[in-house]
Structure 1
Amino acid sequence: MRKLTFIILLCLSLFIEFKGFSDEAIEKETSPLKPVSEAPFNFLDLNIENLDNYFKISTIAEFKNQNIKLLEELKTLLQEVSQDSSKILKPIIEKIALNLKSYEQLLEAKTSQKTAPPLILSTYSIEEALTIERTIRTLEIELKNIQDDLVDSKEELASLQDAFIKQKRTYESIKEPSEAKLVSGIQLFLEKLTLELTRLKFINLNERALEKEKTISLLEASLNNANANLFSTEEQSDAFFSKLEEIEKKWILSKELLRQAEAKETRILSESQNDAETSLLASIEEDRAEINEALLHNQALLASSEYYLSKVILSSQSLNLQEIRKIIYSNRAKLNTIRKKSLEWQLLSERQIQRLGGLLSQEPLETSSEGFNQKQRNILKTAQDNLLLIQKLKNEMEDTLFINTLLEKQVSLKSAASERWLQDILDFGKRIWKSFQDSFKKELFYIGKNPVTLLNILQFIFIIFATIWLSRIVLRALTNLAINRRGIKKSLVYRITRLINYLLLAIGMLFALSTLGFDFSNFLLVAGALGVGLGFGLQSIFNNFISGIIILFESHLKVGDYIELESGLKGEIREINVRNTVITDNDGIDVLIPNSEIISSKVLNWTMKSPYRRFHIPFKTAYGTDKELVQKVVVEAAKKVPHTLARIGIPEPQVRLLNLGENGLEFELVVWVSEQYTKRFGKASSDYLWAIETALNNEKIVIPVPKREIHIIHSDSNHPQDSNPSENNK
């Protein structure tokens, strides 16, 4: 018994050990996805709170340690999953590592970006003031680029948020722990990381924009201080004069080079009429000579303004302020001329590059000779150099304009009290105008990548009202012209004026929308967007609009026509509008009918070809009446009615015998009526019936009255049926 008990206990212990070993093996085999104990979170059990908390850190060092643990866990999981899952996860984990590194760098850059405030000096030289102005312009360009990046980043954030939500739904749809859920969880973390990285970039860009605005504001204050505390020396004045003489010599030389370039271009164009590349290169080189001449011209204007500014600061008594004012105005006019030319050169250089692209598309590079390729490279390089020179010219023109403005202010300060008082008023007006311009140019919102300002909105409203006003003026002028001219149909004038009205409104709307930043250069894109809009909410409106255009172009329906619809509505067309047509019935009620209904349904036009209409007036006489007499009497009565049309080619009134009715002879008066009564059928019919009845009554012609015989049948034999029922007729 003891041996049996021992054997049973031994078997039980072996079974328990084997079961424990089996459970452990199964758990190890089926759960290779166990996360590292020190990992930030488990990818098989992710939630939004865990993902959000990952990016809520106190220090950069803490975030880096957290990232190290996360990457270690990902490497471990990469080794434990199957080969197929490993191929999917490997590029995802590499991208996670790169994004985490970028996130760390952005955090470090965020803590280090600080701009030192500009120094406030007691006096400023002309070069120092010009340096501050250049710095402000550079910062404004950088600020504009940052603002453009902010717009792009905002759009990217919205797209990434949608991608994250989509991946979150995919992850939550996998209920059981598996490799698929693990892969989806790691992808979800990558989407969250990309979203947070873009959000951090957006925050950094916004802080940089605020920092740039602050720096620009401080520099503008420093520049105002510099304008009020400028100084110069005789040595600086002499240096400016020497600089002016040297630049003028170069300018004269550049004019000679320009003449040579023009002569060379003329010669090449005459000799190489069929060589498009040689002609294009000669044209670009001639443009470059013009740009170089304009650069030296502007530098001469800058040196001249610097020289005279230095002299005015030194308060030389020999200076003629009136002559300096003339120089200021002359420099400003020359700058405007150079600015206009620079815009033309820029457009021309861009077109030349496009033209080169057209030449390259016509003859592939692999079929070209080596010399041809070299010539094309020279064309491209010269055109690109021209664009760089144009940008340099624009920057230097800003320097010249700034120094010229400083010179104008200094001359005002040195002028007499009366002149200074007048100049102060002008300067105050300029400042007020500039403040208005700044407020008008302040960006309110964006349409795509285009900023919309208050000025854009005011321009939009002005163009809309101006278009409506111009349209009314044109319509009134055309209408008055038609009234004063004989032989012009009112319906034709109406069609023309309506079409002109629609055309002017469409053009005005396009111009108005372009002021808000809408780009209509890509017509296919605009047509596609319009098609999408029509497919949803504008289909009915567009259908009625096109139907109205069709009605106006066709001559089947026009203003003044008397029509009858399938519904039985009769009336005169008063207006054909964009969306509907206005019909006035004989009771004076205006009815709005959608244009699409008129196009798609049957319409009876009573006055389409001719304004006259033939009426059919039925009447009866008793049997035995002289038909010839009836015809004579009724025709004479119809001719006396004023509505009857008496014109050559129009038949006279006729009387026709239609039917031998139950109660008498059924006749019909057929008569053509005048234009004014074509649309008044009820009134005209009443007048003709009135005249017919009067004429028949005067001739003692009987108008039959329907008779009815009633037979009374009694069921009682004591009351026999009347044998002569005709005595009971009533």
Structure 2
Amino acid sequence: MQGLNIAQAWLLSPAAWSQFALLLLAFLLARFITKRLRPKLRVWLTPPEGAARIFDKARVFLRQFLPLTMPLLAFAFTALGEQATRTIFDSGAVIALGKGLFLFLAVRALVRDILADGFLKLLGKFVLLPMAALYAIGLLGPVMARLEAVIVPLGNLSFSLLDLIRFVVIGGVIFWLGRWSNDQSATLIERQAEMRPATRQLAVKTAEIAIFGAAFLVFMNIMGIPLTSLAVLTGAIGVGLGFGLQKIASNFISGVILLLEGQATVGDFVELDGGEAGTIIKMTARAVILETYDGRWIVVPNEDFIITRVVNYSDSGSANRYEAAFSVSYNTDINTVPAIVEAAVATHADVLDAPYPPDCELRGFGDSGIDFAVEFWVNGIDDGANKYTSDVLFLIWNALKAHDIEIPFPQRVVEIKGGLPDAGSRD
């Protein structure tokens, strides 16, 4: 009956009809301006292809808000109309309802068409949209007052249901901003090619700790929670670190030491005493992740890199030595072999002249041939994508064949005592 009386009063009131007219005018004017303005804004907010300046990225960011143009313009025009009707008729309930409706349409377009992040879309669907709907029908204030009156007891603490909702929403938004800022800072740091990989990793971890630490302090300040109230909690955490979290603390400190020293960093091929070997693809606060050449990932605690012996095959500025063994026939003039093989191996693009050029050495006199080995240096690991030893063996084969040098194979002489039996004999 109350709603029916309000509707009847609106239909019979000149002030209400004028407000309806202003609502329609605001809608048509916003639609007309949007139709003319949006194409020009889209062209201006679209940067040239391949542009990557900060200003161009800002234009792209603003372009995604173009769907809000019409409802926001209608909301602004309606707000002006509300001021006029309240001044002239001392009434504005109808136009206030329309203003709230336009705001609800703007929030709905924001949640449906613009927000892409899962957390923000969830927040918009279950917080922003209900708040906009309540604002549109004029119930936002009473609902918030009711939530404020509902007290939730928690031991010696008590808080209202509105404070709980505010706690969840503000905390989620602040830590989402922290995560986004951390991703942006990590991307920026990783682009600094002049920095050593270990320094980049340390900078990323430092920025992450600083950003989330600042987010926590801002959150506590906004919610009005004094840091002194966390004294008991921090004391419990200290006890936990001393007992149950001892290994985690040890691995965290070991990770910081690894990043500071830079003895092992992302991209290095390492081998530990325990037999773990692979390329470092990621260094976290707790462990180092190795990837083997057969595609397996090995998670090694940071502490193992501090307390055990680690062989780093990819240390900056160092090369690795390998050797390829081969044999030649006893009919060969072995004095000519070293020069032929060294010249052939030196033609490989990845074989280095420093610290030492290819060196062919006589190793021994075997059963079937004379044993040689050629030592060579390369920048890299002879596994995975690299086939240094295989390439060198191909070069040795072709060089020896080109000089008519025979590569022997095992031969055996079998002597049958008493000669072969007669063909007609059975025994």
TM-score scaled to structure 2, two decimals? 0.57
Residues 271-302 of structure 1: per-residue CA shift (max 9 Å, x gap): xxxxxxxxxxxxxxxxxxxxxxxxxxxxxxxx
Q: How does 1:265-304 map to 2 (within 5 A)?
A: none
* Aligned length, in residue pairs: 296
Q: How far apart in 2 are the matches of 1:526 and 1:458?
A: 23
1:436 aligns with 2:144: yes
Q: How does 1:337-352 map to 2 (within 5 A)?
A: none
2:172 to 440, 445, 461: 461
Q: Give 1:690 deviation, angstroms.
A: 1.6
Letter in 1 for 2:389: S
Q: Give 1:611 deviation, angstroms.
A: 5.0
Q: Which residue of 1 aligns with 2:342?
A: 635
Q: How does 1:402-481 map to 2 (within 5 A)?
A: 418-421=89-92, 425=96, 432-433=140-141, 435-436=143-144, 439=147, 442-446=150-154, 449=157, 451=159, 453-480=164-191
Contact kept? 1:457, 1:516, Cα under 8 Å:
no
Q: Give 1:468 deviation, angstroms.
A: 0.6
Contact kept? 1:450, 1:517, Cα under 8 Å:
no
After TM superposition, the runs of 4+ consecutive aligned structure 1 residues lying more than 6 A away are 513-518, 709-712
Q: Which residue of 1 aligns with 2:9?
A: none
Contact kept? 2:382, 2:389, Cα under 8 Å:
no
Q: How far apart in 2 are the matches of 1:440 and 1:621?
A: 93
Q: How far apart in 2 are the matches of 1:600 and 1:447?
A: 46
1:668 aligns with 2:373: yes
Q: Which residue of 1 aligns with 2:399?
A: 695
Q: How does 1:290-439 map to 2 (within 5 A)?
A: 418-421=89-92, 425=96, 432-433=140-141, 435-436=143-144, 439=147
Q: Give 1:524 deviation, angstroms.
A: 6.9
Change (3 A) 1:672 1:544: same
Residues 285-335 of structure 1: per-residue CA shift (max 9 Å, x gap): xxxxxxxxxxxxxxxxxxxxxxxxxxxxxxxxxxxxxxxxxxxxxxxxxxx
2:390 to 686, 691, 703: 686
Q: How does 1:708-727 map to 2 (within 5 A)?
A: none
Q: How far apart in 1 are the matches of 2:243 and 2:200?
A: 35
Q: Which residue of 2 aligns with 1:139?
A: none
Q: Which residue of 1 aligns with 2:361?
A: 656
Q: Which residue of 2 aligns with 1:529?
A: 236
Residues 58-94 of structure 1: per-residue CA shift (max 9 Å, x gap): xxxxxxxxxxxxxxxxxxxxxxxxxxxxxxxxxxxxx
Q: How far apart in 1 are the matches of 2:408 and 2:309?
A: 39
Q: Give 1:589 deviation, angstroms.
A: 3.5
Identity %: 24
1:546 to 231, 240, 253: 253
SS at match of 2:211: helix
Letter in 1 for 2:395: A
Contact kept? 2:321, 2:376, Cα under 8 Å:
yes
Change (3 A) 1:709 1:541: farther
Q: How far apart in 2 are the matches of 1:662 and 1:514?
A: 83
SS at match of 1:609: coil
Residues 677-697 of structure 1: per-residue CA shift (max 9 Å, x gap): 666486111111121122223
Q: Give 1:441 deviation, angstroms.
A: 7.9
SS at match of 2:92: helix
Contact kept? 1:653, 1:672, Cα under 8 Å:
yes
Residues 433-471 of structure 1: per-residue CA shift (max 9 Å, x gap): 463365268544537646462212222222221211111
Change (3 A) 1:583 1:513: farther
Change (3 A) 1:440 1:585: farther
Change (3 A) 1:444 1:618: farther
Q: How far apart in 2 are the matches of 1:681 and 1:602?
A: 26
Change (3 A) 1:566 1:682: farther
SS at match of 1:655: strand
Change (3 A) 1:526 1:500: same
Q: Which residue of 1 aligns with 2:279?
A: 572
What are structure 1's unaligned runs of at least 5 residues?
A: 1-411, 713-720, 724-730
Residues 477-502 of structure 1: per-residue CA shift (max 9 Å, x gap): 3334x15xxx4334432331232123
Larger % of helix: which? 1
Larger % of strand: which? 2
TM-score scaled to structure 1, two decimals? 0.36
Q: How does 1:47-58 map to 2 (within 5 A)?
A: none
1:608 to 284, 290, 315: 315
What are structure 2's unaligned runs of at least 5 residues?
A: 1-82, 101-133, 420-427
Q: How far apart in 2 are the matches of 1:691 and 1:605?
A: 29
SS at match of 2:401: helix
Letter in 1 for 2:291: T
Contact kept? 1:467, 1:505, Cα under 8 Å:
yes
